[in-house]
Amino acid sequence: MWFIPLPDGDTSVGAVTWPYYMKTRQTDIETFFRDIIAQAPELAARLASAEMVTPVEATGNFSYFCERAYGPNYILLGDALSFIDPVFSSGVLLAMQSAFAAADAVDTCLRHPKEAQATLVGYQRAMREGLRKLSWFIYRINHPSMRDLFMGPRNIFRVKEALLSVLAGDIFGDTPIWRSVTMFKAIYYWNQIRHPRRSIAAWQRRRVSIRV
């Protein structure tokens, strides 16, 4: 559930659910949403005297990455380029990181026009690659092996700092975290092998839950 105060005094309230749960809906969206809120008593108490100021909306998936990050006289960055599932609240940092990278790319295009094409291709590749690295964690966020690692953190091979760097959005730069990130993934997979039944159950549950 989210509960986000907005600058104009309103509050954005919402829920992220598995697709299968959305498909159980038998009422209108507003009633369905009110039922979801009722399942979170603390949120329901906060909203007891709240007034709904816009209609309830539902959407299947709001993650996207534009097919092209650049074209004649334009370059895309921030939300204009992509938006990734907001599990880790990385939107602002990704927007700022892409702004730095795009500014460098534009600078190169203006100073060295012959390098423009290669620079823009490199920019697009770096953005896509960075988001792919972050997505690895998002796709596995509710896997039991990942939950184990998050809830019982140990800092072998400095995986903790590396993970914090990734989740903070430090995915485009030269920070030397990738060896530790690889170790984190190795521990994650090792955890899965150690608990095969749980891993298979999680895989099956996910497959059913995300079926469209």
Ligand X SMILES: Cc1cc2nc3c(=O)[nH]c(=O)nc-3n(C[C@H](O)[C@H](O)[C@H](O)COP(=O)(O)OP(=O)(O)OC[C@H]3O[C@@H](n4cnc5c(N)ncnc54)[C@H](O)[C@@H]3O)c2cc1C
**Residues contributing to the site for ligand X (CB under 6 A):** 4, 12, 78-80, 89-93, 95
Nearer to ligand X among residue 92 and residue 200 (C-beta): 92
Shortest Å distance, C-beta 86 to ligand X:
6
Cα–Cα distance, 120 to 75 (Å, whole number): 8
Considering the complex, what minimum distance in angstroms separates the CB of residue 14 from ligand X?
A: 8
DSSP-assigned beta bridge partners for residue 171: none
Q: State which residue, 92 or 210, has the beta carbon closest to ligand X.
A: 92
The residue with its CB nearest to ligand X is 78
Nearest approach in angstroms of CB 63 to ligand X is 12
Please, which residue, 89 or 155, has the CB nearer to ligand X?
Answer: 89
Longest dimension (CA), the chain: 62
**Beta pairing, strands 70-71 & 64-65:** unpaired
Q: Which of 204, 184, 84 is nearest to 138 (CA)?
A: 84
Output 141 or 186, the one with its CB closest to ligand X: 141
Q: Using the minimum distance from each CB to ligand X, give the nearer residue, 78 or 173.
A: 78
CB of 166 to ligand X, least distance (A): 14
Residue 205, Cβ density class (10 Å: 0-12 exposed, 13-18 middle, ≥19 buried): middle
Q: What span, in angstroms and rounded, lies between the C-alpha atoms of 90 and 97?
A: 10
Q: Which two tokens stand for residue 144?
A: 């039991």
Minimum CB separation of residue 40 from ligand X in Å reads: 18
